[in-house]
C-alpha cells in the first residue's frame, strides 16, 4: 500500500472518529483515572526544588528545636493536602523531631488527627514529650493577631492542649517561651498563612515552609526567591514527591498517576479531534471532485 493510500485511510478513519458519541470519551476518562486504583504503579517521581526545600529544612532540624505545624485543610482540599501532611508528619516522627500542631479551621482536626496518631503508634512517639496537639484555637479572622501573640509567648497564648493539659506542664514545652524555640513553622492548607513570615521568620529567625493547593501556589514563589520561605509543597504533585522522598507511596502518588493518565487521554483526544477535522475536510474535498 502506497504512502498516499495509507494517508487516505488514516484520514477516513479519523473522519469517522469525529462522529464518536461523547459518552465513549467520558467512559475512557473514567477507565484512565481508575487504573491506579486497580494496578499499583510506582514510576519515578523526581522531587522539585520546591519540595526539596521543605524536606531539607526538616532534615536539618537541630536537636532540642521544635517544629510548628498549622494544618487548615479539610474535606475541600483533602485530595491535595492529605498526602502533603502525611509526608511531613512521617518525616518528623521517623526522625524523632518534636512538634506541636494547632489550626485556625474548626473542620480540620478530624482530618489531620488520625494521621498523627497512626504515625505516633508506628514510630512509638509519646504524646506530650515528642508531639502535642492544641487543636482549634484561632478563629480565621484573628490569625494575624494569634501568630504575633504565640510568637511572643506560645504557652501563654495556647494555654491548654486538646486534653486540657496546661501548655506549660507539657514536657515538650519545658523552657519554651517564644518563637525562637521553633526551628521551622509549616502552614498546610488551601491558602497558607503568610503571617508566619511577618511575625516568626522576620522577628525570631524561625524558618517557614508552605504546603498549598496548586491553584494558589503561583502567588507563593516570590517568597522562595526572596529567601523568606524554604520551600512549598504544591498540590497533589508536592504530596506525591514527598511520599516518594519518604519511601511511603500512597494516595498522593495514586492521584498524580491518575492525573497523568487523564492528561494523556486528553492529549490523545485532541490529536484525534484534529485528525477527524482533517479527515472531514478531506472527505468533503473528495466529494466535490466526484
Indicate if 26 and 152 belong to the same structural domain. Answer: no
Indicate if 144 and 217 belong to the same structural domain. Answer: yes
Cβ(233)–Cβ(54) under 8 Å? Answer: yes
**pLDDT of amino acid 1:** 47
Indicate if 109 and 23 belong to the same structural domain. Answer: no
Indicate if 34 and 105 belong to the same structural domain. Answer: no
> What is the DSSP annotation of 111-179?
HHHHHHHHHHHHHTPPBTTTEEEEEE-S-GGGHHHHHHHHHH-HHHHH-B-TTS-BGGGSGGGTT--SG
Indicate if 73 and 199 belong to the same structural domain. Answer: yes
Indicate if 268 and 184 belong to the same structural domain. Answer: no
CATH of the domain at 150: 3.40.50
**pLDDT of amino acid 280:** 66
Q: Which own/partner pairs from 29-36 qualify as long-range (CB within 8 Å, at least 24 positions apart)?
A: 29/262, 29/265, 29/266, 32/258, 32/261, 32/262, 32/264, 32/265, 33/258, 33/259, 33/261, 33/262, 34/258, 35/257, 35/258, 35/261, 36/254, 36/257, 36/258, 36/261
Indicate if 138 and 70 belong to the same structural domain. Answer: yes
Closest CA to 19 of 262, 287, 279: 279
Q: Look up the pTM and report it.
A: 0.82
Indicate if 106 and 218 belong to the same structural domain. Answer: yes
> What is the DSSP annotation of 14-44?
HHHHTT--HHHHHHHHHHHHHHHHHS-----
β-partners of residue 103 are 136
**Is the torsion defined by CA of 124, 138, 67, 187 positive or negative?**
positive
Indicate if 184 and 222 belong to the same structural domain. Answer: yes
- Cβ neighbours around 151 below 10 Å, total: 24
* Owner of C-alpha cell 492521584: 255
Grade residue 3 by pLDDT with cuts at 50, 70 and 90: very low
At 194-205, the pLDDT tens digits run 999 999 999 999
Which cell goes with 232?
A: 512549598
C-alpha 57, offset from chain centre: 17
Domain containing 75 equals: 49-248
154, burial (CB in 10 Å: exposed 0-12, middle 13-18, buried 19+): buried
Closest CA to 83 of 252, 214, 237: 252
Cβ(67)–Cβ(183) under 8 Å? Answer: yes
Closest CA to 91 of 44, 58, 57: 58
Indicate if 222 and 276 belong to the same structural domain. Answer: no
* Angle of CA points 63, 67, 72, to nearest 5°: 165
**pLDDT of amino acid 11:** 52
At 152-177, the pLDDT tens digits run 999 999 999 999 999 999 999 998 99
Indicate if 115 and 55 belong to the same structural domain. Answer: yes
Radius of gyration of the chain (CA): 25
> How many structural domains are present in the chain?
2
**pLDDT of amino acid 266:** 75
- Residue 182 gets which letter from DSSP? E
Indicate if 170 and 267 belong to the same structural domain. Answer: no
At 103-125, the pLDDT tens digits run 999 999 999 999 999 999 999 99
At 10-68, the pLDDT tens digits run 555 555 555 666 777 777 777 777 777 677 767 778 899 999 999 999 999 999 899 99
Amino acid at each position: 500500500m502506497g504512502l498516499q493510500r495509507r494517508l487516505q485511510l488514516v484520514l477516513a478513519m479519523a473522519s469517522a472518529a469525529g462522529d464518536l458519541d461523547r459518552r465513549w470519551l467520558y467512559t475512557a476518562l473514567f477507565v484512565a483515572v481508575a487504573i491506579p486504583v486497580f494496578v499499583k504503579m510506582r514510576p519515578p517521581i523526581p522531587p522539585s526544588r520546591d519540595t526539596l526545600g521543605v524536606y531539607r529544612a526538616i532534615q536539618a532540624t537541630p536537636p532540642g528545636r521544635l517544629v510548628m505545624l498549622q494544618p487548615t485543610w479539610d474535606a475541600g482540599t483533602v485530595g491535595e493536602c492529605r498526602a502533603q501532611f502525611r509526608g511531613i508528619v512521617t518525616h518528623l516522627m521517623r526522625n524523632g523531631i518534636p512538634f506541636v500542631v494547632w489550626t485556625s479551621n474548626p473542620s480540620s482536626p478530624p482530618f489531620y488527627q488520625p494521621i498523627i496518631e497512626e504515625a505516633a503508634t508506628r514510630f512509638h512517639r509519646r504524646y506530650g514529650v515528642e508531639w502535642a496537639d492544641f487543636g482549634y484555637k484561632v478563629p480565621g479572622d484573628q490569625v494575624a493577631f494569634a501568630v504575633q501573640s504565640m510568637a511572643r509567648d506560645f504557652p501563654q497564648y495556647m494555654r491548654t492542649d486538646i486534653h486540657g493539659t496546661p501548655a506549660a506542664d507539657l514536657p515538650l514545652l519545658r523552657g519554651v517561651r517564644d518563637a525562637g524555640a521553633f526551628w521551622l513553622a509549616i502552614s498546610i492548607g488551601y491558602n497558607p498563612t503568610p503571617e508566619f513570615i511577618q511575625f516568626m521568620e522576620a522577628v525570631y529567625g524561625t524558618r517557614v515552609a508552605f504546603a498549598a493547593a496548586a491553584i494558589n501556589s503561583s502567588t507563593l514563589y516570590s517568597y522562595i526567591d526572596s529567601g523568606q520561605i524554604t520551600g512549598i509543597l504544591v498540590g497533589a504533585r508536592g504530596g506525591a514527591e514527598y511520599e516518594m522522598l519518604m519511601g511511603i507511596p500512597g494516595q498522593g502518588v495514586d492521584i498524580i498517576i491518575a492525573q497523568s493518565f487523564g492528561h494523556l487521554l486528553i492529549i490523545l483526544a485532541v490529536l484525534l479531534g484534529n485528525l477527524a477535522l482533517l479527515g472531514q475536510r478531506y472527505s468533503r474535498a473528495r466529494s466535490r471532485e466526484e
